[in-house]
Structure 1
Amino acid sequence: MSDRTVLVIGAHPDDEVLGAGGTMAKHAAAGDEVHVLIVTEGTTQQYDDDSIIEQKREEARECADTLGIGAVHFGDLPDMRLDDVPHVETNAVIESVVSDHSPDVVYTHSPHEVNLDHKAVYDSTLVATRPATGVERVLAYETPSSTGWTGGATSQFGADVYVDITGYVDTKVEAFNAYESETRQFPHPRSGKSLSARATARGSEAGFAAAEAFSLVYERVSEI
């Protein structure tokens, strides 16, 4: 059994499971305390219906339940508008959860994204996990349909950490399916078949049957 505390940060409901669903399930199975933070309400700019906010929250909780996670936190910042939100406000949402739960490991968005909300969350994660917070490790995940669409002229997501999620792929797909409004038909990247295929491809890069890929942002090591 492990006694680590883990925080997974997503700009919108479903980002967390797309990027790190299998890894979250594996942490939970190992006995780690896993928290999810959804920074925005994930709805208003896409659906123009405030009633969907609660639906998304319920989907996030169902997703977390499937992964074996009990704690989901909501920041309620405006969806698709984090580039207009003062940086300090986004910082404060993440800092609050970091302060309350003292995570050892944090997973967040990559800066190599087409989605500006994702980039803003990455920037604020760096502020919220400064050395004085005690966070030991920060990793950035890839977000299907965002990290892969940045274009060849810009910096691309580069994987240098692979987590073996053999045995957790079906759980990840089942958890993602809780987000009924976000699932798409194959070959869209946000389809169950595509997520399974990505896990197989990432696994083959690292010698696993299935894996999730991350970029190490930093790691603080006191002993070697």
Structure 2
Amino acid sequence: MTRTVAPRTVLCVGAHPDDEVLGAGGTLAAHAAQGDEVHVLIVTEGSTAQYDDPSYVERKREEARVCADRLGVETVHFGDLPDMRLDDVPHVEVNAVVEECVASVEPSVVYTHSRQEVNRDHHAVYDSTLVATRPDSGVERVLAYETPSSTDWVGGGTDGFHPTVYVDVTDHLDTKIAGFAAYESETRAFPHPRSEESLRARATMRGAAAGVSAAEAFRLVTERRGAP
């Protein structure tokens, strides 16, 4: 029996510009290629804590838009909360940014940060995503992605990122790399995790674990099903 899957609405939540493509860029491109409506939410302005230049906020936004266009993302939403300071922002304010986007977009699938990593902005976004995707939200599936240069730097005293879901991105890896290349302010030279070579190596490694040429890895957070 052949089952036809209706197009879905997908939302990827990231704390900073480039988190979305680093963690789920190939998967978002795959969603777009199969006709799903894909949105990205960037919760912070992604600049002020790192660069003493207000113009970087708009630069990061433009890079995010170019990346989204390359991945096939329909809309990038911006939250404008302070970069690298979400642990100082009241939890309800972070919740509000994610809740407002979920209510507007009405996704059935949401991708967000893992809590098994070192970046506290990412922790806050993960926690707020759980609030925004509670049972009455209409969201059916929530998955946590890994973030190169953050998830993989967790120390031995902390539970690390252990994927439970792998998505074959063999046909979309080049699109992910092209999307990340839009973030000229964030790319680094190999062997830094935010380099083309490292991203390809990670995709190959995750693919080997899943029996495909290239994959992205996720941890299933929530799944609500009707029929089995």
- Give the structure-1-normalised TM-score: 0.99
Q: Aligned runs of 1:13-24 on 2, under 5 Å?
A: 13-24=17-28
The number of residue pairs the alignment matches comes to: 224
- In structure 1, what is the Cα distance between the partners aligned to 2:13 and 2:203? 20
Letter in 1 for 2:138: G
Aligned-pair CA distance for 1:68: 1.0
Unaligned runs of 5+ in 2: none
Letter in 2 for 1:155: D
Unaligned runs of 5+ in 1: none
- Which of 122, 138, 141 is matched with 2:142 structurally? 138
Please list every run of at least 4 consecutive aligned residues from structure 1 whose deviation after the TM superposition is greater than 6 angstroms. Answer: none
SS at match of 1:121: helix
Which letter does structure 2 place at the counterpart of 1:214?
A: F
Residue in 1 aligned with 2:117? 113
> For 1:184 and 1:52, how far apart are their aligned partners in 2?
17
Tell me the distance in 2 between the aligned counterparts of 1:221 and 1:107: 17
**2:193 is paired with a residue of what secondary structure?**
coil
2:148 aligned with 1:183: no
State the TM-score, normalized to the length of structure 2.
0.97
Partner of 2:162: 158
SS in 1 for 2:77: strand
Identity of aligned residues (%): 71
Report the Cα offset of residue 49 of structure 1: 1.1
Say whether the 8 Å CA contact 1:2–1:30 is kept in structure 2: no
CA shift for structure 1 position 152: 1.1
* Corresponding residue number in structure 2 for 1:198: 202
Q: In structure 1, what residue type is equivalent to 2:58?
A: E
Query: Residue 73 of structure 2 is aligned with which of 59, 69, 89?
Result: 69
Q: Which amino acid aligns with 1:195?
A: L
Is the Cα–Cα contact under 8 Å of residues 102 and 134 in structure 1 kept in the other structure?
Answer: yes
- How far apart, in 2, do the equivalents of 1:213 and 1:180 lie? 24
